[in-house]
Structure 1
Amino acid sequence: MTSTVPAPAPPAAEQPTRTAPTSLAPTGRGLLRRARWYLAFLAVLLIGAVTVVALGRDREYPTIDPRSYDRDGAHAAYALLEQQGLATRLTTDPTAHPAGPDTLVLPEPDLLTPDQLRAIAAARHTRLVLIAPGPTALSALAPGIRSSEEDGGLPYAPVRPANAGCSLPEAVRAGDAETGGMLYTSGSRGEGCYPRGHGYALVRTPLDDGTRDVVVLGSGVFLQNGELTVAGNASLALGLLGSQPALTWHLPDYSVPLPKAAHPKTFGDFVPDGWHWALRQLAVAAVLAALWRGRRLGPVVSENLPVVVRASETTEGRARLYRRAKAHGRAAQALRRAAAHRLAPALGVPLRAGAPDPDALCAALADRHPEQSAGDVRALLYGPPPTDDAALLRLADDLDALERQVRNP
């Protein structure tokens, strides 16, 4: 019986030893790891913006809209008037409802057509409240009242709390209120309140025999939800809009193009208020990010070179570069500087600003070797640059000989 001995398996091929990459260049994975927090912040910011837009898409209303619960809406004032027992209604056509003992609020009277303005003037509403009307609406609905700009005054004033400065009962009862915007003159029959220069932010003028009147407001900021609790804004709003048993609030059609503005608007007038706060927050974030990144710039950290390079190879490589560029002057300057740095400690010459004083060094060399004058030593150490390779070699030999004489007198 014979037994077979299995043949020895061939030696396994040696696996090549993996070495860590020695390149210092950043890799894609490293860049992604360093930027992961920035990407996460941008993702959260994008998700938040999309969520805000999605939630508010169906509730976008213009400024001073009684249906809006936003800060610049007017639902709070409208609800307070309802609680006082007024018969309130919203309309998109101010001429569709018969006039009576009521108040008609026109937030954008310039958007109405000339026919609608004539119909409103003939409807004989007890009180008309016009918010920031232009010349066309003023001539049709508020005779005698004109823009302050037409009389040489300021056309516009910033909205801020101000004193009434008149005898109008609603304004006297409210006291200080946030008024401003467009300014108007009161005319011969009207009365102006909240003066700004030569104009007024609120003007009331009687119509016909005094049983009807029109109130012109330069701005409706005091009607906004977010400003209703400031100063006497709520009292002024309820007094002007709640003097009659019924209230009709016109909802303007903002798709109708506005006529040319009575005063030129600046770029800031077209920027929403929320963007101002956003820009300020971005500026603060940029400053904080700069401070955060600036604090990370600490001392230089030494790292081991991925490849060991001998000093002689570095010297030879630099010499080849000098030779290829024919930089005889740069090479001579490097040789002379190195020789001066080595000679100065041996002769007891101190270094000032990283280099020995030329006069002191030359004088010390001349004292050590009287056979060489100070002028010869200066020509050797600080003379003109060589013009060819042969002169550069002679300079190197002379510098070596000088160092040997100093070290081995």
Structure 2
Amino acid sequence: MTAQAVESRPTTPTAKARWRGGRWIALLGALIVLVAAGTVLLGPEQEAARPLDPADTSLQGSKALAELLRRRGVTVDRVDSVEAAAALGGDRTLVVTDRLRTSPDDLAAVRGDRLIVGDPFGAAEMAGVNPVGAARQRSREPECSLPAAVAAGSVHLGGIAYSAPRGTTGCYPAGDGWTLISFPNGSGTTTVVGSGEFMTNQRLAEDGNAALALNLLATGKPVTWLVPPDDPGTGDLAGPEGDSVYDLMPPSIPWAVLMACLTVLVVAFWRGRRLGPVVTERLPVVVRASETVEGRGRLYRARRARARAADSLRAGTIDRLTPRLGLASGAGPQEVVAALAVRTGLDAREVGGALYGPPPTGDAELVALAGYLDSIERKVREL
């Protein structure tokens, strides 16, 4: 081996090479961001679900229940303020959900029966009914004497469990409490349920949910359904002073979201970079072909791999002679042997035995085979 001075070339990718390898990833990422932003900004606006709203057709809405009541001849009035509910007057059934922010005093002017979903303002406490814990949403049996519950049977209830002191009727037990409480008020009956899940479009057709809802509301009285105002500044997303939840966010939240998005893009660009084209370098040493051949021959001899050495010699000879004989690279043994016999005048059986015969049994036969193959190649080159 001989050492040679070689020119040193840098192998670290330059800034230009990095940009060349990663520009398509950066452009693709920017395109994805633009498409996503355009979809959000230009796409059709979807109306948010309004849980337990008699005009909402989503899974959380209660339009199906309102339509069932109307088919039974019950008037259903949807109002968004206590003042509007009181203005309707008469003996009515008031539905109040836990998405409202009001107080029992605000409802004093509304006479008649009341169905309170959850405990939006502590109305149950004024009759001595207190929440005693949370109840898992599942099908429950009434286990009480309330006619509306007995007729409905099993109902999907949960949410809040209440105590049932003297003068109240508790149904659908959950732990130490009840998920439905009924008690008289000054002008009618108040019913408190731990959750309005059984009144939604999604659950109304299950168990006895529809039966219980109709038994509580279809009593021959008009229904006043009190819902949050449509104005998001005063609805259930409003803060204590009418500000929306987005107005109450700290100013740093949008910047934090923006920095998180930029971080994701930078990490994607970093992990998706390419190293660029392979840099070629001259070897510091030159190894002669003869030394490589001798080294491989010593390895064959050390392992006594005569068959493998013979196969290597034969394969090399066939590869070199095939184009000289005008044959294709996939020519079979018969074609190669026949062409060599015609071109060199050698015996076809000897040529076939040398190229495709059994492996040699000793070193002498291997050397003789190598010499015979070399002589065949010389004759073909001299013709």
Q: Which residue of 2 aligns with 1:77?
A: 65
SS in 2 for 1:226: coil
Classify 1:178/1:246 alpha carbon distance in 2 versus 1 (closer, same or farther; 3 Å). Answer: same
Q: Distance in 1 between matches of 2:285 and 2:143?
A: 89
CA contact (8 A) 1:144 1:189 kept: no
CA offset at residue 307 of structure 1? Answer: 2.7
Classify 1:110/1:31 alpha carbon distance in 2 versus 1 (closer, same or farther; 3 Å). Answer: closer
Q: Distance in 2 between matches of 1:110 and 1:74?
A: 16
Q: Which residue of 2 aligns with 1:98?
A: 89
Residue deviations 1:69-104 (CA, integer Å, cap 9, x gap): 22211122112211221111112223222131x311
Residue 221 of structure 1 aligns with an amino acid whose one-letter code is E
Q: Which residue of 2 aligns with 1:117?
A: 107
CA offset at residue 36 of structure 1? Answer: 6.2
Residue deviations 1:218-243 (CA, integer Å, cap 9, x gap): 11111222222233222222222222
- Give matches, 1:7-406, under 5 Å: 26-34=17-25, 42-50=33-41, 54-56=44-46, 59-60=47-48, 62-91=50-79, 92-93=81-82, 94-100=85-91, 102-108=92-98, 111-113=101-103, 115-120=105-110, 123=111, 125=112, 127-133=113-119, 136-140=122-126, 143-148=127-132, 155-207=133-185, 212-253=188-229, 254-255=234-235, 305-311=279-285
Number of aligned residues: 238
CA offset at residue 215 of structure 1? Answer: 0.5
Q: Which residue of 2 aligns with 1:268?
A: none
Structure of greater relative contact order (alpha carbons < 8 Å, 6+ residues apart): 2
Residue 85 of structure 1 aligns with an amino acid whose one-letter code is G
CA offset at residue 311 of structure 1? Answer: 4.2
Q: Distance in 1 between matches of 2:99 and 2:30?
A: 48
Q: Distance in 2 between matches of 1:64 and 1:226?
A: 11
Residue 81 of structure 1 aligns with an amino acid whose one-letter code is L
Residue 115 of structure 2 aligns with an amino acid whose one-letter code is V
CA contact (8 A) 2:103 2:123 kept: no
Residue 178 of structure 1 aligns with an amino acid whose one-letter code is H
Which stretches in structure 2 are left out of the alignment for 5+ residues?
1-10, 241-276, 287-298, 303-383
Residue 219 of structure 1 aligns with an amino acid whose one-letter code is S
Classify 1:245/1:255 alpha carbon distance in 2 versus 1 (closer, same or farther; 3 Å). Answer: closer
CA offset at residue 204 of structure 1? Answer: 1.2
CA contact (8 A) 1:64 1:224 kept: yes
CA contact (8 A) 2:103 2:121 kept: no
SS in 1 for 2:172: strand
Residue 201 of structure 2 aligns with an amino acid whose one-letter code is N
Q: Which residue of 2 aligns with 1:152?
A: none
Structure 1 length normalisation: TM-score? 0.49
Classify 1:39/1:110 alpha carbon distance in 2 versus 1 (closer, same or farther; 3 Å). Answer: closer
CA offset at residue 180 of structure 1? Answer: 1.0
CA contact (8 A) 1:131 1:219 kept: yes
Residue 33 of structure 1 aligns with an amino acid whose one-letter code is W
Q: Distance in 2 between matches of 1:38 and 1:229?
A: 46
Which stretches in structure 1 are left out of the alignment for 5+ residues?
1-21, 149-154, 260-302, 313-344, 349-409
Q: Which residue of 2 aligns with 1:321?
A: none
Structure 2 length normalisation: TM-score? 0.52
| % identical aligned pairs | 27
CA offset at residue 133 of structure 1? Answer: 1.9
CA contact (8 A) 2:104 2:121 kept: no
